[in-house]
Structure 1
Amino acid sequence: MMNYSFNDLSNKVTVITGGAGVIGKSICTALAACKAKLAIVDLNLDNAKALADQLQEEHGIEAIGVAANVLNKESLNTAKKEINEALGSIDILINGAGGNHPKATTQVEQMVSDELEGSFFDLDTEGFDFVFDLNFKGTLLPTMVFSKDMIGKENKGVILNISSMNAFKPLTKIPAYSAAKASINNFTEWLATHLAPQNVRVNSLAPGFFITDQNRFLVTKEDGSFTERGQKIMNGTPMGKFGEPDDIQGTVLYLCSDISSFVTGICIPVDGGYNCFSGV
C-alpha cells in the first residue's frame, strides 16, 4: 500500500553527524516532528545535548547528544556503542558534517596577472587536506561505522549525504571544497549500487546558498550587506534569495521516508534554481 505520509519515520533510530550545526539543527527538528529517535552527533557535546533536550521536550521523542570526531574511527565506534545502548539499532544515517576553510580559499577568482600571491599557487596544502578530509572522509568513516546496523536487516536502511552546489559547478575561490563535494556525489552513486542488494538506499542533497558560519566571510560584509561575491550569488539564483535552513526539511524527509522507496543514487539540489540557471 502506498505511503502518503512520513509516519514511517516514527521510532526510526536516526544518526545525524554535524547535527548541532545550523543545517543539522533544521534536519533534527524536522525528524523530531516525525517522531524519529535522534542521535545528534557533534564535536561540541554541549550543543548536541542542548538540542537533544530541547527536541525531547518539544516533541516528546527520544533524543541524545553524542560527542564524536567524524575523522576518528575509534571515536565513531564509541559513539555507535552509546547510540545502540540508548536507542537501539541504527536505521537512518545523515552525514551532515562538513565545511570549508580560509586556508583552502584563493583571494582572487581568476589569475588575471602573473602574480602568484592570493592565487591557486599560494594555497596552503594543509588547508586542502583539512577540507578534503572533513567533507569526504567525514562522510566515508561515519558511513563505515553507523551503517553496519542496516546490513542484513529486514527493515530498509537509508543513508543521506549532504553535498553542495559545488558538486555540479565548481565555484571560484574554493577548489578544495568543490573537489571534496564532487567526491560526495560520486561516492553516493557508488555506494547506492554497492548496497542496493542489502535494501539500503543511498542518496544526497545539495543545498544551494545558505549563509553559515563557514561561508559568512565570503558573502557578507561586517555591516550585513552583500559582498560582490554574495551579490553574484543573488544574481545567479532565479528565486533571488539565500536559502533558509528549514528549506531543506521537506527533501530530507522525502529521501529518508519510504515515500522514496525506489529512489537511490541521486542528488537533489535545493537551491532556488541556481543549478538550472544559465546566467542569461
Structure 2
Amino acid sequence: MTEKTIALVTGAAQGIGYACAEILVEQGMFVILCDANAERLRPAAERLGKNARYILCDMGDSAQIAAMFDTIEKDHGTISVLINNAGIALPSSFLETPEQDFRKVLDVNLVGVFLAIQRAAKGMVAKGIQGAIVNMSSINAVVAIPSIAAYCASKGGISQLTKVAALALAPHNIRVNAVGPGSIDTEMMASVNANPEAMKMAMSRTPLKRMGTPREVAELVCFLASPKASYITGETVYIDGGRLGLNYTC
C-alpha cells in the first residue's frame, strides 16, 4: 500500500456502500465516495469528515467512469483499494422485462465493475501498488428470483469476473475478492420490511431469523480489503445468515 492509502467506494451514498466508506475512514484511509445520487452523496461524504471526498458517477456510463478515475488520479493520486458496490435491480416479470432494462442492469452491475477493476488495476500496476479490490456479488449469483433476471445474471457474472481478475492480477500482487450478501436491511429490502408476509417468507429461508445489517457486510468487505486477508484472492464469501445452506423452508 502507498503511504496515503486511497480507497474508492462506488454506490457509497447509502446502505452497504456508505458503511464500507465509514469503516475505511475509521481505519485511517482517505476515502472517495462515488454515487449517481447527488442529493445523498455530498452529505454522506461530509458526515465522514476531512478524510472523505465525493465524486458523482453513473457506473453504467463508461465515459463517466473514465472521467472519474482521471479526476481522482489528478486530484488525489492512485487508489490502493477499490470497493465495487454500486448496483441496481429493476424488478419486473420475466416475460415482460424490457431489453433496455436488462442491459441497464448489466451495464451498472457487471460492465461498470469490469471497467473500474481494469482502470484501477492499471494505476496500481503502474505505481507498483499491491492493492485490493472487493466486488459486491449476492446470494443471487447462486439462487435465482425470476423477477430480477438481469440482477441474478449480473451477480453470477461478478463471481466469475472476480476469479478472472484475481488470476490476471495475481502476478502484480493485487488481490480481487467478492462478497455475496443475503437479506440485508437496506433500501433494496424496504418493500419486504413493509410487508409482514414477505418478511415472514424471507425469514423462513434465513436460519438466523433476522436480516443482516449494512455494517456487518461492510466489516467483511473491509476485512477482504485489508492486509489481514493477504492470502485470499479469487473468492466470493457469502454473508447470508445461513440461507445458502438451507434445503427447506418452514
Q: TM-score, normalized by length of structure 1?
A: 0.82
Contact 2:110 2:155 in 1 (8 A): yes
- Alignment partner of 1:63 is 2:52: yes
Give per-residue Cα distances to partners, 1:15-36, cap 9 Å, x unaligned: 0111113111111111111011
Contact 2:159 2:178 in 1 (8 A): yes
AA of the residue aligned to 2:6: V
The aligned counterpart of 1:174 is 148
Deviates more, 1:201-210 or 1:150-159: 150-159
3-state SS in 2 of match to 1:203: strand
Within 5 Å, give how 1:1-280 maps onto structure 2: 11-56=4-49, 61-102=50-91, 105-106=92-93, 120-217=94-191, 219-220=192-193, 224-228=194-198, 230-279=199-248
3-state SS in 2 of match to 1:173: helix
- Distance in structure 1 (CA, Å) of the matches to 2:6 and 2:137: 22
Deviates more, 1:78-87 or 1:19-28: 78-87
Q: CA deviation at 1:46?
A: 4.2
- Distance in structure 2 (CA, Å) of the matches to 1:198 and 1:127: 36
Gaps of 5+ in 2: none
- Distance in structure 1 (CA, Å) of the matches to 2:2 and 2:230: 13
Give per-residue Cα distances to partners, 1:126-175, cap 9 Å, x unaligned: 22222222211121122222332111443311111000010121134322
- Distance in structure 2 (CA, Å) of the matches to 1:62 and 1:85: 17
How high is the sequence identity, in percent, across the aligned residues?
28
3-state SS in 1 of match to 2:116: helix
- Distance in structure 2 (CA, Å) of the matches to 1:259 and 1:126: 41
Which structure's residues are more often helix, by fraction? 2
Q: CA deviation at 1:10?
A: 8.0
- Distance in structure 2 (CA, Å) of the matches to 1:152 and 1:51: 31
Contact 1:13 1:92 in 2 (8 A): yes
Contact 1:9 1:35 in 2 (8 A): no
- Distance in structure 2 (CA, Å) of the matches to 1:73 and 1:262: 32
Q: TM-score, normalized by length of structure 2?
A: 0.92
AA of the residue aligned to 1:267: T
Contact 1:166 1:182 in 2 (8 A): yes
RMSD of aligned residue pairs (Cα, Å) = 2.0
Structure ID, larger Rg: 1
Give per-residue Cα distances to partners, 1:8-55, cap 9 Å, x unaligned: 898410001111131111111111110111111111234222222211
Q: CA deviation at 1:257?
A: 0.6
- Distance in structure 2 (CA, Å) of the matches to 1:49 and 1:193: 36
